[in-house]
Structure 1
């Protein structure tokens, strides 16, 4: 009888250990997992090819406004910088990445609009940009209507080109590329006449050493682009990220990040927008 009781007790301990282990693997809404050093991990979607916004440097590090915003938010959520995993999230893949749980949140020049809000949630906005054109330095496009009959490059999944086509220059010829670097190459080789996206992104490219003097911004404000942080639909992270963004503005970090990011490009950015208010 004692042997039976001892065996039963051992089996119970084993079951409880397995149950505790299974529960310990579930980190809840954040989608993070434990790391070998005891720290929590979080995966953040960013762009890899946008100077000044989100750029993967040759040494493997990351730079840009969105990177710094992501680091600040992650810290406020309780994650050390060393436990942030940055994952490239191209424009066309952002909603899918959130819906599939591939990333916990996305900071990737992600403009808030009604169509996207049907698929994902947004914290913010944390930045206000305006759609503009990048053109060759010896060209001149004085108004959006001047794009009629011209070839206009944009990145697949971006709303910028469609905005031009439907609202501004219906006879513009749209050319889509997988990334902004490809559009820049097409512009430089005169395959296209202009690249359209947010002025914050275009300013970063124009300021790069290899492009100085070759391109310029047309100086048009074709739309308002309210950058938000994308989260999975219904995620509890959204409210927490909003709190972090408000703190970032209040403690002066937001202004410092923007000055350091855009100062070299002489880009005059808008003041920090109020959370939940779109322009």
Structure 2
């Protein structure tokens, strides 16, 4: 008798396992549904809208269009998250280094940041991060007429450096014949490159793309190009308020669905690929991206 029961249970278990294996994680319960009003998703559906903070000065990821409207890859991803919840997206644009404060101050429900994930960043109490929506690398921006392609070729060059201190590499540690000019903004680098005060820029390639876009827009002769080895790897993620794991899981699932449905690919191809070339969606978790930059102060 017990043998018969065990055999039946094993057969049932095998059947269930097969069904689970054949089903994708989201097919049994669609993201696009009505949520209880006790959840963040339900409250947003009740309001009929959600507020999305995006950078205003980080083209092509987030910028202000000619008509004053927000544009960029982050805008397209934000629209998709709102559409998945069946609510209207309301965007607020602000400088990239202030975007995350919109979530901290309850001004936005989600914020697409351009700050690299690190162990220190993900431990901030006020907000939580999704998995990365983009992977970037520190590289070089050089004039097409310059023969320099790598850091080793930059002897005698002045380099405008716009780096996050927790993730960036000082090029003078690789080539001590390089003069480093630190900049507080992308605009500073663009200005110094235009006047030839500096001849090269270094930053994450996602930020170099913004410089390249600004410089090439009015270039009369040889244009600017992103080149060189990938000196670092860093992930950019969206932020949501801490203490709402269900909301974080929803946004993560929506962004994953955006990849599956080609929304991520279309947004990347439209806004980013002209500067950085083809790229697949990130395959790294929040924790994995943060672990690339551990908190060295806590290491023994």
Q: TM-score, normalised by structure 2?
A: 0.68
Counterpart secondary structure, 2:237: strand
Distance 1:77 1:275 in 2: 25
Q: How big is the alpha-carbon RMSD for the aligned residues of Structure 1 and Structure 2?
A: 3.3
Structural mapping, 1:142-153, within 5 Å: 142-145=149-152, 150-153=157-160
**Residue of structure 2 in register with 1:57 after alignment:** 65
**Residue of structure 2 in register with 1:72 after alignment:** 80
Indicate how the Cα distance of structure 1 residues 148 and 105 shifts in structure 2: closer, same or farther if over 3 A, else same: farther
Distance 1:69 1:59 in 2: 20
229-238 vs 240-249, greater mean Cα deviation: 229-238
**Residue of structure 1 in register with 2:170 after alignment:** 164
Structural mapping, 1:224-263, within 5 Å: 224-236=233-245, 237-263=247-273
Counterpart secondary structure, 1:125: coil
Indicate how the Cα distance of structure 1 residues 235 and 221 shifts in structure 2: closer, same or farther if over 3 A, else same: same
Indicate how the Cα distance of structure 1 residues 250 and 162 shifts in structure 2: closer, same or farther if over 3 A, else same: closer
Indicate how the Cα distance of structure 1 residues 39 and 167 shifts in structure 2: closer, same or farther if over 3 A, else same: farther
Note the residue ranges of structure 1 that are not aligned, 5 or more in a row.
Answer: 1-25
Indicate how the Cα distance of structure 1 residues 89 and 259 shifts in structure 2: closer, same or farther if over 3 A, else same: same
> Which of residues 221, 226, 250 is equivalent to 1:217?
226
Q: CA deviation at 1:88?
A: 0.8
Structural mapping, 1:181-220, within 5 Å: 181-207=187-213, 208-211=216-219, 213-220=222-229
CA contact under 8 A between 1:127 and 1:228: conserved in structure 2?
yes
Q: CA deviation at 1:29?
A: 5.0
Note the residue ranges of structure 2 that are not aligned, 5 or more in a row.
Answer: 1-36, 293-300
Indicate how the Cα distance of structure 1 residues 204 and 116 shifts in structure 2: closer, same or farther if over 3 A, else same: same
Indicate how the Cα distance of structure 1 residues 194 and 51 shifts in structure 2: closer, same or farther if over 3 A, else same: same
Q: CA deviation at 1:258?
A: 1.8
